[in-house]
Amino acid sequence: MGLPCFELIYVYEDVNFDGSKHELVNCHYFGGDYAGTEGTKELWQEVFDFITESYDEEVLEKIYINGDGADWIRTGAGMHAKARFVLDRFHMHKYIISATSHLKDSAQDARSEIYRAINGKRKWAAEEAFDKIPHVIESEIKAKAVESAKNYILGNWA
């Protein structure tokens, strides 16, 4: 039998920025050990029931499901018509850093190009930016890291 998998979801309305501090507005937490597919669906149903009880869904335009792309997170995006998966910034940055950290002086340029493509919602441009990197590296291990990062970012493109 495997280890329990604790899943945590938090629903919030907005984020207040106060200098270096971020505060979630009207945050509500859901979580526990929800085993398997049925457990995951049960957890998401609790979340969507809360949303239905707490908000006017006719006014609610979108429900963003922000995470790392794990199956249990994507399950939630498929359970509500207004839900949309979005890759979280932590994991996005982690993979972009992994793909570019070995570039030394040109690392920041490569990162900027990738971020511009992502912020501009140009998937093809992000793919092109990742495809340029292997041409300036010699290590097969680094090339695999670049390919892994590219596949992760493009595979989780929303």
Q: What is the mean pLDDT of the chain?
A: 91
- Do 104 and 138 have their domain in common? yes
Which domain, by its residues, includes 70?
Answer: 6-87
Amino acid (one-letter) located at 62: K
Cα separation, 4 vs 35, in Å, equals 7
- Do 57 and 130 have their domain in common? no
pLDDT digits (tens, 9 = 90+) for 104-121: 888 999 999 999 999 999
Q: Place 124 in a pLDDT band, splitting at 50, 70 and 90.
A: very high
150: pLDDT strictly greater than 80: yes
Cα dihedral sign, 98-99-104-106: negative
What's residue 135's pLDDT?
86
Cα separation, 34 vs 68, in Å, equals 18
Please count the structural domains in the chain: 2
Average pLDDT estimate for 133-152: 90
Cα separation, 72 vs 47, in Å, equals 13
Residue 102 lies in a domain: yes
Question: CB count, 10 Å around CB of 146?
Answer: 23
- List the one residue out of 24, 42, 25, 45 whose CA is nearest residue 33: 42
Cα separation, 28 vs 129, in Å, equals 38
Question: CB count, 10 Å around CB of 113?
Answer: 19
Q: What share of the chain is helix, strand, coil (3-state, %, to 5)?
A: 55, 20, 25
- Do 62 and 102 have their domain in common? no
pLDDT digits (tens, 9 = 90+) for 58-104: 999 999 999 999 999 999 999 999 999 999 999 999 999 999 998 98
142: pLDDT strictly greater than 80: yes
- Do 108 and 60 have their domain in common? no
What's residue 1's pLDDT?
52
